[in-house]
Amino acid sequence: MKKLLCIVLTLTLVLAFAACGAKSDEPYLIGISQYGEHPSLDNCREGFLQGLAEAGLVEGKDFTLDYQNAGFDDNIAIQIGQSFSAENVDLMCAIATPSATACYAAAEDKDIPVIFTAITDPVAAHLDSGNVTGTSDKLPVEAQLDLIRKLQPEAKTIGIVYTTSEPNSVSAIAEYEEKAGDYGFEIDAIGVTAQSEVTQAVDTLISHKVDCLSNLTDNNVVGTLAAVLEKTNEAGIPVYGSEVEQVKLGCVAAAGIDYIKLGRQTGVMAAKVLKGEVSCADLPFETISEYGVYVNSAACSELSITLPEEIVAVAIETAE
């Protein structure tokens, strides 16, 4: 039985390795490494493919895709990067920081270009030089503060829940704390270490009598948003989102990024690199050129927030 097992295991290995060694030479092979399944990250990927299409690349004819996601496991992200390198992909697209650092490390040997997206601070992650570039999803913090001020002229304190181990959240909190004073706000930030602690943190903020909550792109908070909104609606506290999906779910408004757009911008950059028009090293990373203002008027009227004319004029309504 053991011999049989050994044979079966060996055969599976050999076959699979053989399978990943086979590679046709014509269309570009693009490896997409996504950190996990998550609406914002999924939108990035979706947009990335749109961006490639926009640049005139057709899937199947001009490029083939190898899409992998790591299920939020850093160690799997490492292996995904290495499997792309072993496949000799022509370009790696990495979505979120852990995937990007893993792809960049794996690509070093063969100098495969890496295009990242959904990274807040590429400079801190040392992804700003070398054969790597992409787009940053840095939140428009000032625009968000401005929006909150317009919707709640009397508000003093903004409560924020964030995960201490998420790099994007930590850098966003720093910016919130730096800029809040300019708009007359104080920030009451509570750090959590796991998704299960988010609602508890929200309870704490409610008991601190914050005037509203503002979300980052924090995976744990966004993941429990429905439960968060249940609590805040009961307490009559509005929640501001950080991107369109959260406003659809019931946040009152957001000055945020459209991840599809961000992905599209990334896809266009990738196409330029693939076609050889420019190398990653000569293409600095980009932040999103424009942000959108999204409102959910149903949620607003429930919390008796009146939308000023100037906001209505520019905002995109998300309530159905």
Partner 1 sequence: MLDSIISTLTQGFIYALISFGVYITYSILDFPDLTTDGSFPLGAAVTAVLLTNGCNPYLTLLVAIAVGALAGLITGLIHVKLHVRDLLAGIITMTALFSINLQIGGSNLVVERATATIFNAEPIMTLFGGMSLLYRKLIVSFILIVVVKIILDLYFKTKSGLLLRAVGDNQTLVTALAKDKGNMKILGLVIANALVALAGCIVCHEQRSFSATMGTGQVVFGLATVIIGITLFRRMSFVKGTTAVVIGSILYKACITVALAAGLPANLLKLITALLFLLVLVLSGRKGEEIIHA
For binding to partner 1 (CB under 8 A), which residues are involved?
1-2, 4-6, 9, 12-13, 16-21, 37, 66, 68-76, 78-80, 82-83, 85-88, 97-98, 101-102, 105-106, 108-109, 124-127, 130, 163-167, 169-170, 193
- For residue 39, the minimal CB distance to partner 1 (Å) is 15
- Of the pair 193, 306, the CB lying nearest partner 1 is at 193
- Of the pair 78, 260, the CB lying nearest partner 1 is at 78
Exposure string of 62-71, with b = 16+ CB inside 10 Å and e = fewer, is: bbbbbebbbe
DSSP string, 28-44: EEEEEEESS--HHHHHH
- For residue 195, the minimal CB distance to partner 1 (Å) is 12
- For residue 109, the minimal CB distance to partner 1 (Å) is 4
Distance of CA 259 to the CA centre of its chain: 7
- Of the pair 66, 302, the CB lying nearest partner 1 is at 66
- For residue 16, the minimal CB distance to partner 1 (Å) is 4
- Of the pair 169, 215, the CB lying nearest partner 1 is at 169
Tokens for 297, please give them.
């008027």
The burial of 313, by beta-carbon neighbours within 10 Å (0-12 exposed, 13-18 middle, 19 or more buried), is given as exposed
Helices (H), the chain: 2-21, 39-54, 74-87, 97-107, 141-151, 167-179, 198-207, 219-223, 225-235, 244-249, 259-274, 297-302, 309-314
- Of the pair 90, 108, the CB lying nearest partner 1 is at 108
- For residue 83, the minimal CB distance to partner 1 (Å) is 5
Cβ-contact 151, 183 below 8 angstroms: no
